[in-house]
Structure 1
Amino acid sequence: MRLYVPATLDLLAHWHQAGAVPAADPGAAAAFVAPEESEEGEYAALMSAADASAALLAGAGRRVVLVAEASGEEAVPVNRWAAVHADTADRPAGADPDEDLGWFAVQEIPALLGGGG
């Protein structure tokens, strides 16, 4: 099952350093699952997670959605992460919620976080 986990750059940095998304992170929002296994279903889950990410920002910033494969374990280790979708630049509060996110491979997370590659 593919999960779409709303995040912020700070949360992503914390999870990346820890090597996993913890089962219960008080700063995180609930993950979204596609209502159906189709491109439209996955896009709906991604955009719902992007909306939840915007709510985590409480203002300007970059929406971040971590995509991972769930396997029933408590935490989701980095080796189960599939990709990251994120805004390519900070957005003002109240920006268009339907704006698409950029796609980043898991290997690109350090660069996305500003730490180089």
Structure 2
Amino acid sequence: MRIYLPSTFTGLAALLDDGHIGGAPLRAYAVTPHLSGGDRPADDEELEYEALRGAARASVRLLAADPAAPRRRAVVAAEISEAAVAAAPEADDPAAVTVAGTVPLKRVAALHVDAPEAADAIAAAAADPAAGHDDDHELLWYAVQELPDLLGRR
């Protein structure tokens, strides 16, 4: 099952250093029955995009709590067993789920990160995450192998 884990550059550095994302239960986002509307046919790509957007909104809240992190959203896309995923209690987002255990780096499929040009807009959003924001910036896709370069470690 594909999940989207909200993160920050601080979290991406920890992923690279530790080889996993920990802190169970983890809040993540995925295509859930609640998101897809049950019986209603839906486009899988649109549903995946909505789950990604949920994780991007959560990344803004993580940035608000980590003033030292660069003002760029980060989302980690991973493939994990469906058995490790459960509905998030009291979730405010239909794509929200919880993940039991850790997510190893080898299960990460891709990274989605803001371009540097988005930093000012994301800084403004992180200053007041409860207000929401119109996001004119799409997250860029990165291969897992690009993580060291993304963090400036090569």
Shorter-chain TM-score tier: 0.7 to 0.9
TM-score (norm 1): 0.85
The question of whether the paired residues in 2 share the 8 Å contact of 1:6 and 1:65 is answered with yes
Instruction: Give the secondary-structure state (helix, strand or coil) at the position aligned to 1:12.
Output: helix
1:21 equivalent in structure 2: 21
- 1:110 and 2:140 correspond: no
In structure 2, how many angstroms separate the alpha carbons of the residues matched to 1:96 and 1:62?
15
After superposition, give the CA deviation of every residue in 1:10-47 in whole Å (9 maximum; x if it has no partner).
Answer: 0111122111111427xxx6100123470000000001
Structure 2 partner of 1:87: 114
Q: CA deviation at 1:76?
A: 1.1
Q: What is the Cα deviation at residue 96 of structure 1? A: 3.5
Q: In the alignment, is the contact (CA less than 8 A) between 1:5 and 1:32 conserved in 2?
A: yes
Structure 2: gaps spanning 5 or more residues = 37-42, 85-99, 126-132
Among 76, 82, 102, which residue is 1:75 paired with? Answer: 102
Tell me, what secondary structure is at the counterpart of 1:93?
Answer: helix
Residue pairs, 1:36-51, within 5 angstroms: 36=36, 38-51=44-57
Summarize the Cα distance change of 1:45–1:98 in structure 2 as closer, same or farther, 3 Å threshold.
Answer: farther
Q: Say if 2:34 is the partner of 1:34.
A: no
Q: Greater share of helix residues, 1 or 2?
A: 2
Structure 1 runs not aligned, ≥5 long: none
Distance (Å, rounded) in 2 between the aligned partners of 1:7 and 1:98: 19
Residue 97 (structure 2) aligns with: none
Task: Mark the structure with the bigger radius of gyration.
Answer: 2
**Aligned-partner residue type, residue 19 of structure 1:** G
Q: Residue 3 of structure 2 aligns with which residue?
A: 3
Percent identity for Structure 1 against Structure 2: 43
Q: Show structure 1 runs of 4+ deviating over 2 A.
A: 94-99
Higher relative contact order (CA 8 A, sep 6+): 2
* Cα RMSD (Å): 2.1
